[in-house]
Each structure stands twice: as C-alpha cells, then as structure tokens.
Amino acid sequence: MFETIIELTYMVGALLIVLGLRKLGSPDTARRGNIEAGIGMGLAILAALIGPMQGASNNYGWILGGMIVGGAIGWVAAKKVKMTAMPQMVSIFNGFGGATAVVLGMVELEHFYSGTAMDGGQLIVTLLALIIGGVSFTGSMLAYLKLDGKVKDKNVTFNGHSILNIILLLVMIAASVYLYMQGRPGGITLAVIVMVISLIYGFSFVAPIGGADMPVVISLLNSFTGLSAAAAGLIYGNLVMIVGGIFVGAAGTILTVLMCNAMNRSLLNVIIGGFGTSAAAGAKSGTDGQIVKEIGLNDLAIQLYYSDSVIFVPGYGLAVAQAQKALKELDDLLTANGVDVKYAIHPVAGRMPGHMNVLLAEADVPYPKLLDLEEANAAFPATDIVVIVGANDVVNPAAKDDPSSPIYGMPILDVLEAKNVVVIKRSMSPGYAGIQNPLFFHPKNKMLFGDAKAVITKVASEVKDL
C-alpha cells in the first residue's frame, strides 16, 4: 500500500510537470504553468524523501541541508537577476543540471567498479548521463561567460577549431565504447578519462560559436541537460526524472531545430560547433562616405500619432534599457488614437529563445499583438512606420545582399518594406554579430540616438500633447 501511494505521488507530480510545461506555451498561462510544474516537482521531491530505495542511507540531514542552501541561492538569484542577465542565469542553472548528471554517473560507475551489479543497458545509460551532463556543464558555463562579456571569442578559438571538435567527439565516443567493452576490468580510471574528455569537449564545442548564434546553443544545451536528466531517471527508475527529462530534451531539440531554420543554419553544424563566428574577415562594415539621417522626438511623435499602422521591433537594447513598460505606454496612447500597433518578434532576438516575448509579457502587451517572422514580413508593406528599438542583426539587410557577411542567408525582418523606418539606438556601434548594419545608412531610415527608455518616454510625452 505504501509503495502504491509513493508511485501515485510520482504520477501526480509528473502529470503536473507535463501540464505546467504545456501552459508555458502562452504568456497568458505561463505563470500558472510555472506554479503547477513547481508543485509537481515538490511532490516528486517529497516522494523521493519518504520512499527511498531499498538499502539506501537515509541521510536526511545532508539532503535537507542541500535543499535549503540550493533553494536559497536559487530564490535570491531569481529575485535579483535583471532581465538583461536572464540568459546568463539560464546558462548557469542549466550547467548545474548537467553537473548533477556527471556526479550521479560517476557515483554509479564507482559503485559498479566496486562490485555492484550493473547490466549492459544500465552501463550504457550511466555513460550517457555522464557524457551528456559533462558537455552540458562546461558548455553552459562557457556560454554564460561569453554572454556576460567575461570571455571573448578570439581568446578561446583558433583556425580549424571545428576539426578539433570532431576529433574530440570521435575520441570521446571511442573511449566510451572501449569502457563499455572492457566492463569492470576497465577500472574507474578509464571512466574518469571519459568524463574529462566530455568536459573538454563541452567547452570546445561552444568556443567557436559566435554571439549572434548564442540563442541556438543555449537551446541545444538545455536539451542536452534534459536528456542527461532522463538518463539519470533511468538509472534510478524515477518516473518524474524520466518524464521531465524527456520533455525538456524534446522541447529543447524542437526549439533548436526551429531556431536553426530561422537562422538558416544546419543542426549538424551546431553539433560540431562549426558555425557562427562573431565576425567574418570579408564582411562589409565600413561607413566611409555614408550619410546617416536623424529624426527629432517631436517629428517621430507626430509621425506615429497620424499613422494608421505602426510596428515596433524590439531587441536586446530594449532589455538593456528596461524600456518595455515605456513602450507599452506609448502603445496605449497610439491605440487610443486609432493606430493599429503590432510588435515584430524575430525568433533569435535578444540573448535567448523567447527573450522579447518575456519582456513584453512583463509589460502586459497582449499576446495577439506579437507577430512572428513570417507574419511581420507579410505586414510590413502595409505599415506606415516601423520603429526598431535596440534590435540590430535581426534587421540587417546584409543577411540578404552581402555574401561576405557572417549572417548572410539568415532570414531577417524586412523592415525596409515598410513606408518609413526609425531606429532608436544609443550609438552606431555594431550588433552582437560584430558587423555594421547598412540599414542605418539607407535613405528610407532615420536614426534617433539615446537610451531607449528615455527616448520612448519623451516620445510618449510628445504624443500626449498632440
């Protein structure tokens, strides 16, 4: 009877996690989905505590101590983190999940080499948890360091880096196969070697991936961590770990494929780490002889006020300035005047998948106002004015007409199809891909320099006075 209750608790916890993940698909239900998934995970933890495996030591003091310390760190970090640093936090937490899988894998292998029985299937699953977790851990840590500006691409890469990644991957696979074939006589030393290679490969795998492609690698590493969690769940026969890991792994993989399509990248190149360097030697980035036209606050306010349709294009600059609520206020003023206001969201805008959606949801922007890439490009020709707030690479026309550009071939928001374009930006500095944007010099475009929040607030004030 007791075991039945434990299994039912696991089942209810897994169901709540699945329902919670399902509700994360819409900003309207995301908060409730988070709560439900959290309750499900709480039930799973409770079941794991009161129904430990046979023969396991009930070290509740250590377990509760770890939960309290980890929970406190997570709570404080989540409360204090700024929206601009959310991708970094996601990378760190994701890396910790991978590190957990590494520890579990090594513990089980140590038990195996000490004489604990383990069949061939269990050994394969344990090795997968170890390897995938190792890649996810060091890869996520490097992604965090690159996103936070602590590590520059040029300091961790060299010519032919993708070849090194292929060699490391083959060596890691060969060592794992050899360990499996050797079985217990192979010894713990070989397992440590496999672990070290996986950690090195995780770092090397992320090293050549440039900043413009970082949302893809974050999504891929999330899927890796999900798979390592599922593998750990198979080791211990834990239903919640298996279900949660499979869902996270599948969701991360699907999102990675969708983002690769959005950036015109191949998933194979993502896996071997051979794409997305932050700049290309032949890319056109000069500004000699090119003219930038500027627009004043009052002129922009008048143009917005008397337009029939306006589309805002948010980017990382919006997050840096925390300008989403100011933009929503401007949206409300224009909507009250009969202007049709929409938002164009590029799949890889910001520093992680869904970054702009989260920002706008935080400002209570209605979800139906958000247009994806295809919808936005279809709407631009009938749009009176497009206002780009802090976006850069996702509206760079070099992706369409400059074969030497590192972002050539990436689908972009075709803002130049609109009747008028205005870019709100602090300066003429290049975007995360490290290249200049010819849009800034296009005759149809006008620049409005300044902090996005301050500029939008002033424009909204001008609109109120009209």
Catalytic center residues: 393
Residue 191 neighbours by CB under 8 Å, 6+ apart? 106, 109, 110, 113, 130, 179
Q: Check: CB of residue 382 under 8 Å from CB of residue 310.
A: no
**Encoding tokens for residue 95?**
């890396």
Q: How far is CA 224 from CA 98, 111, 406, in A?
A: 8, 25, 27
Closest CA to 149 of 215, 211, 56: 211
Helices 187-206 and 161-182, axial angle in degrees (round to 10): 160
Rounded Cα distance between 382 and 310, Å, is 10
Q: Check: CB of residue 419 under 8 Å from CB of residue 387.
A: no
Question: What ranges in 368-430 are assigned the alpha helix state H?
Answer: 373-379, 398-401
Closest CA to 318 of 296, 349, 293: 349
Contacts of 151-158 with C-beta under 8 Å, sequence gap 24+, read 153/207, 153/208, 153/210, 153/211, 153/277, 153/278, 156/203, 156/207, 157/207, 157/208, 157/277
**Encoding tokens for residue 177?**
């196969």
Measured at the CA of 217, the angle between CA 430 and CA 261, to 5 degrees, comes to 80
Rounded Cα distance between 435 and 424, Å, is 18
- Bridge partner residues of 425 (DSSP): 449
